[in-house]
Structures are given as C-alpha cells and as structure tokens.
Copies of this chain bind each other. A is one copy, B any other.
C-alpha cells in the first residue's frame, strides 16, 4: 500500500467519523444524553444483568470510567446497581427503559440519514472493506 493513499484514506476516515459523531452528539443532547451515557443505556437496555466489568470490556473503556458514569446515571434514576457477591449487576429503571425506547430508534434514524448519500450497494461495499480492514487490524 502506497503511503500517500493510506494517509489520505485515514484522514478521510477520521473526517467522516468526526462529522457523524458530531451530529450524534448534538442529536443526543436533545435527549439530555452524552454519547457515553447513550452507549451505556443501549448496552444495559439490551443486555440486562451485566456486571460493571463486563460492561467496561464491551464498551472498551476502563472500569474506573464506568464507575463514574454509572454513579451519575444512577443519580439521575436511569439505572440501578444490584450488589451480588462482590460484583454489581446492572439494570435500567422504569425511567431508563422509557428513555431507552425513545433514544435507540431516534439514534438509528440519525445514522440512517447520515448514510443517505450512498446507495445500498455502496454501503455494502463500504461495509465489506471496513470489515476486512478491521480484521486485518489484529
């Protein structure tokens, strides 16, 4: 792979990521959520009963980070920690589930809109290439 082409591809990847990410941040803010909070809401919403460590592993962040974020979200009444032996299992509260049911489709819509500039075939190709790239990255 040529240097110039790789660097261009990386810059473009970064730029696209950044643009969609920013949209997402603005979009989620209307629901009072940050990206990090949405990620947690979405994860715990689909898979209840996870421990904090499991959640951290799935989101690829540290358990320290999760600990802090959960404290705030628990304070806002979105979820509950239930102690179980030496670990905590996590579950959304009623309010959390309610927000989950609104936020997930809302966010999915935003993503769909972001990809409107490409045809189905193009998205399929993009997906295939990104998959290949992902796997080659160890």
Contacts and interface: CB of A to CB of B under 8 A. Distances in A.
Interface of A: 1-3, 5-10, 12-20, 23, 60, 108-109, 111-112, 114-120, 122-127, 129-138
Contact of A120 (B2, B12, B114, B120): B2
A135 B127 CA distance: 18
How many subunits of this chain does the assembly comprise? Answer: 2
B17 A13 contact: yes
Does more than half of chain A's interface fall in helix, strand or loop, or is it mixed? Answer: helix
27 contacts: A1-B119, A3-B108, A3-B112, A5-B124, A6-B108, A6-B114, A7-B108, A7-B111, A9-B115, A9-B126, A12-B130, A13-B16, A13-B20, A13-B130, A15-B134, A16-B130, A16-B133, A18-B60, A19-B137, A116-B136, A117-B132, A117-B133, A117-B137, A118-B132, A118-B133, A122-B129, A125-B129
